[in-house]
Amino acid sequence: MFSRAVKAIADAEVFIITAGAGMGVDSGQPDFRGHEGFWNAYPAYAKLGVCFENLSTPYHFIDDPHFAWGFYGHCVNMYRETIPHEGFHIIQKWIEQKNAPYFVVTSNVDGQFQKAGYDEDRIYEVHGSLHWLQCQTLCTKSVWTNTHTVQVDFETMRAADPLPVCEYCGKSCRPNVLMFGDWTWLSQRAEAQKRAMDAFLAENAERRVVVIEMGAGAAIPTIRAKSERFGNELKHATVIRINPREPEIYEPNISIACRALEGLKQIDSALTELVGSAAGLD
Ligand SMILES: NC(=O)c1ccc[n+]([C@@H]2O[C@H](COP(=O)([O-])OP(=O)(O)OC[C@H]3O[C@@H](n4cnc5c(N)ncnc54)[C@H](O)[C@@H]3O)[C@@H](O)[C@H]2O)c1
Ligand SMILES: [Zn+2]
């Protein structure tokens, strides 16, 4: 499978990078699936019997904002401190070597692609971003950058005052991310990003595209479905799915059952060899 992945990347004129929570794992971020893993990472929630799905709801921002911001404030702090792993830069190197057009599509809300140096105008954050805020009461449709730092007591996972407030009405605000059962997420920033992606797809529809998918889970298959759609709808596209536990994808797409960083490193060293041996033939 690695040799086919290497060939798909060597032949590619255009890169689409699709990523789910597993892309952050090699940078040291937890993925939030499975009660065991989540409760090991957050003992305070184990005591309360609360899992990720219970926390990811807009209602806590109304009934108990210190509880809601305890979780989301902690995530923002963690994502601000995270250093994106080398895998982000391996793909950037491939793109730069070919001077290839690229687009990133991710359900991650952590801003790690921007942090690694990917162009903000070439990223579609399907579920929004924790680095942006919006009014909880929808007094305005504007969204604004999150510059606030919330202090969180890790023992209780509750946030201390002051909490971030709406720039317009002064009331409680929330991150501009899509939560479960969420009717108040303002999606216009994500919609503008989607329009940029659609224009990119139209421009590159006839070219050889490689879609590199990493860490996208099957439980909420938003990103997996998008990768497969790109593979089906673009004329000359191959999808490479890198995932240690859920790598399955149908042929002629390529399934690589390992962690994102390990997979990218292996492909990169095989690519370097391939380029070296091609140069040796001249
Ligand atoms: N970093 C984030 O922004 C973040 C983190 C957790 C959840 N979320 C949100 O929750 C939802 C979670 O869905 P999801 O599919 O992204 O995540 P998920 O937790 O459902 O699935 C994670 C996937 O990553 C794989 N994985 C684990 N370690 C990996 C590694 N080292 N390298 C590559 N893959 C690895 C797992 O096998 C799994 O398939 C998303 O909609 C997202 O908005 C975001
Ligand atoms: Zn407001």
Q: Give the distance (Å) from ligand 1 centre to CA of residue 20.
A: 5
Exposed e or buried b per residue across 114-133, where buried means at least 16 C-beta atoms within 10 angstroms of its C-beta: bbbebeeebbbbbbbbbbbb
Q: What is the pTM of this model?
A: 0.96
Q: Terminus-to-terminus CA distance in the chain, angstroms?
A: 27
Residue bearing the CA closest to ligand 1, atom 30: 259
C-alpha 186 to ligand 2 mean position (Å): 12
Check: CB of residue 138 under 8 Å from CB of residue 216.
Answer: no
**Which among 71, 69, 247 has a CA at the least distance from the CA of 162?**
69
At residue 280, the pLDDT reads 60
Mean pLDDT by 10 residues, the chain (282 residues): 93 98 94 81 92 93 96 97 98 98 98 98 98 96 97 96 95 95 97 98 97 96 98 96 97 97 97 77 49
pLDDT at residue 282, as a whole number = 47
Tokens found for residue 99: 């001077």
CA of 77 to the centre of ligand 1 (A): 18
d(CA 138, CA 9) in angstroms, rounded, equals 44
Give helix then strand counts, H and E, for the chain.
Answer: 11, 11
Distances (CA, A) of 196 to 55, 102, 208: 31, 12, 19
Which residues, other chains included, contact 62 with Cβ-Cβ below 8 Å and sequence gap of 6+? 136, 172
Separation between Cα atoms, residue 179 and residue 58, nearest integer Å: 7
Enumerate the H helices of 31-161 as residue ranges: 35-41, 43-48, 52-55, 59-63, 65-81, 86-98, 112-115
Q: Which pLDDT does position 279 carry in this prediction?
A: 63
Distances (CA, A) of 176 to 66, 105, 128, 169: 17, 17, 6, 16
Q: Report how far residue 72's alpha carbon sits from residue 92's, in angstroms, rounded to the nearest whole number.
A: 29
Residues with CB under 6 A from ligand 1: 20-22, 24-26, 29, 31-33, 107-110, 127, 214-217, 219-220, 222, 242-246, 259-260
For a mutational test of ligand 1's pocket, the pick from 31, 262, 266, i.e. the residue with the most ligand atoms closer than 8 A to its C-beta, is: 31
pLDDT at res. 172: 85
